[in-house]
Amino acid sequence: MTDVMSSAAELLGSRCRVLVTGGAGFIGGAVVRRLLNESEAIVFNLDKMGYASDLTSINQVLVSLGPEAADRHQLLKVDLCDAEAVAQSVKRADPDLVMHLAAESHVDRSISGPGVFIDSNVTGTYNLLQAVRLHYEGLPESRRGPFRLHHISTDEVFGSLGAHGRFEETTPYDPRSPYSASKAASDHLVNAWHHTFGLPVVLTNCSNNYGPWQFPEKLIPVVTLKAAAGEDIPLYGDGLNVRDWLYVEDHVDALLLAACKGESGRSYCVGGHGERTNREVVETICLQLDELKRSAAPHRDLIRRVTDRPGHDRRYAINPARISSELGWKPRHDVSTGFRETVRWYLDHQDWCSRVREQAHYDGGRLGTVT
């Protein structure tokens, strides 16, 4: 850790039982690894073990920590849509902190099949809120004060920006994809449980994450793997849509700060000043691959413009002033070095990528077109 960031143990303080939902996914996995590595907390990992789930990285950490750490990670293989199983899991975990990351997360899949997004992200969040509310009401006074339910959300709830401006906590909600609408609904439910039932909650709305262990269906792993294999690289529309890229470990820094130090009822926007057009991102990755992996022609020759994503949001950008000034967060990675490390990681982990794609019955093809 740098001197600006406290360790997970320091941030957790007296909280020693943490329930993480979605901890077998990309960002949840990074949260679980951090908690295991940097604290003594027992981590209950509630995940349905869907197509994007994988425990390889967590198992590696457990091996490195030795046998005495084995019991500190407890997988609860539960679908949030099963209210009874969720209630039992919360009872078993008896948490001091809940970090809710479980969600269907891929916009393209929400276009092809929106139903599971409503089930997991809306009904699933409702089931969790009901179970956690019961748990909170039964806690002794000494555990109530530090208790939080931290809901991890996205900048996509704010809609699409024009050429100027950035999202901040007061930006009105304007979701435009089935994914972002389902996340917006879950944000509203969390706020309602705070105002109506007094549940202590914190929300964060973050921009696009990148880094190792992301299921290879999103832009950065897709481009890296396709280019490395000499396949066409699909660039949606004119390639000028803008995303604000943040290294996943910087997001974990922000999540732990918000969960442990955030004010109840407050939301925090998280983003890394990493605005790039998709074309810039794709060309950067191609240039990095030219250096890392020899090919007859420059990798950028593989870029192909393909039909746009329906309802494709034009630009996202975050103003992280609140989390920076109130909680002292700032990103520790810049986009160019972060992308380079990530591209190298995917090149070195192509076996893992093939395995998880195969397990998920996903061939790497285009998702999310409307027929």
Catalytic residues: 155-156, 179
Which of 99, 336, 306, 82 lies closest to 201 in space, CA to CA?
A: 99
In whole angstroms, the minimum distance from the beta carbon of 25 to ligand DAU comes to: 10
Residue 205 found at the interface with ligand DAU (CB under 6 A): no
Residue 208 found at the interface with ligand DAU (CB under 6 A): yes
Task: Work out the burial of residue 82: count CB atoms within 10 Å of its CB; fewer than 13 is exposed, 13-18 middle, 19 or more buried.
Answer: middle
Which of 44, 8, 12 lies closest to 28 in space, CA to CA?
A: 44
DSSP state of 120: I
d(CA 347, CA 9): 33
d(CA 150, CA 70): 25
Among 101, 132, 260, 289, binds ligand NAD (CB under 6 A): 101
Residue 44 found at the interface with ligand DAU (CB under 6 A): no
Nearer to ligand NAD, 39 or 45 (CB): 45
In whole angstroms, the minimum distance from the beta carbon of 174 to ligand DAU comes to: 14
Residues 22 to 41 in contact with ligand NAD, rule: CB under 6 A: 22, 24-28
Residues 211 to 270 in contact with ligand NAD, rule: CB under 6 A: 215
Residue 154 found at the interface with ligand DAU (CB under 6 A): yes
d(CA 175, CA 313): 9
Which of 75, 89, 101, 99 lies closest to 134 in space, CA to CA?
A: 89
Contact of 160 with 240, CB cutoff 8 Å? no
Mark 46-85 with x for binding to ligand NAD (rule: CB under 6 A) and - for no binding: -xxxx-xx-------------------------xxx----
Which of 13, 132, 42, 29 lies closest to 83 in space, CA to CA?
A: 132
Could you tell me which stretch among 4-12, 59-67, 89-97, 149-157 binds ligand DAU (CB under 6 A)?
Answer: 149-157
Residue 207 found at the interface with ligand DAU (CB under 6 A): yes
Residues 261 to 320 in contact with ligand DAU, rule: CB under 6 A: 278, 309, 316
The two tokens of residue 267 are 């939301």
Q: Residues in the site for ligand NAD, rule: CB under 6 A?
A: 22, 24-28, 47-50, 52-53, 79-81, 101-105, 120, 124, 152, 154, 183, 206, 208-209, 215
